[in-house]
Amino acid sequence: MPPELVDSHCHLDFPDFDGELPDIIARARAAGVTRMVTICTRLHQEPKVRTIAEGYEGVFYAAGIHPMSAAEQPLVTVDQLVAYAAHPKFVGIGETGLDYHYTAESAEIQKTSLRVHIQAAQETGLPLIIHARAADEDMATILREGFQAKPYACVMHCFSSGAELARAALDMGFYLSMSGITAFPKSQELRDIFAAAPVDRILLETDSPYLAPPPYRGKRNEPAYTAFTAKAGAAVFGMSEAEFAAQTCANFDRLFTKAAR
């Protein structure tokens, strides 16, 4: 039997998986992935994402406004996010964050949206799920300002930013999530950042259908491939795959308390 794993961030509602969800989830379970968090990035999709979570044991969900669509969507309110949090399978706030790589022109609305999500995380006690790209300085500043006002839990999803943002996040007790990028041959600098982090602050994810790890790089990703990122992560920390899998499951349980074993 493969070791138990958790895919802490995937997008099961995306068209890439249409008509295949039972097979996708069956393959995940066969690979040891017993729990998945499927992320809603546009709130008009929330009913679909919620229905997926309700339909499968071990599938949970989170919702928020992705920074790249923050300028296109109505600004979510704290009350809306708090209302979603009443659902027993709603386990996190987001994803939210800042993306200046593709959408720098909407930086100000992204910041406003991020602060709303931070407040919802503070009010609900659910972890904030952060997307950060090419915005390390602003990201660290806003996260820190919110945390100093009222502490909250957080995961830096698909972490691929710089060492300074990693340290800032870890200093606040946040978690860093490994995606398939960690297993790419040219990602040594990123592996070094993870290696400097406490292993009890590491999560695993696919971000599927994106960012498939080798040997599937360039193809559609799916939750089953968490196992390949786990193998790369175990090597980073000098642990056996079983030890690393158990550690990341324990970390997930500590952060995502509503989805804990």
Binding site for a divalent metal cation: what residues are annotated?
A: 9, 11, 95, 131, 157, 207
DSSP one-letter string for 161-183: S-HHHHHHHHHTT-EEEE-GGGG
Write out the binding residues.
9, 11, 95, 131, 157, 207
CA atoms of 108 and 112, how far apart (whole Å): 6
DSSP one-letter string for 37-73: EEEESSGGGHHHHHHHHHHSTTEEEEE---GGGTTTS
> Can you tell me which residue has the tokens 């980073």?
236
Q: In what order do the strands lie in the sheet with 90-99?
A: 5-10, 33-40, 59-63, 90-99, 128-133, 154-156, 175-178, 202-204
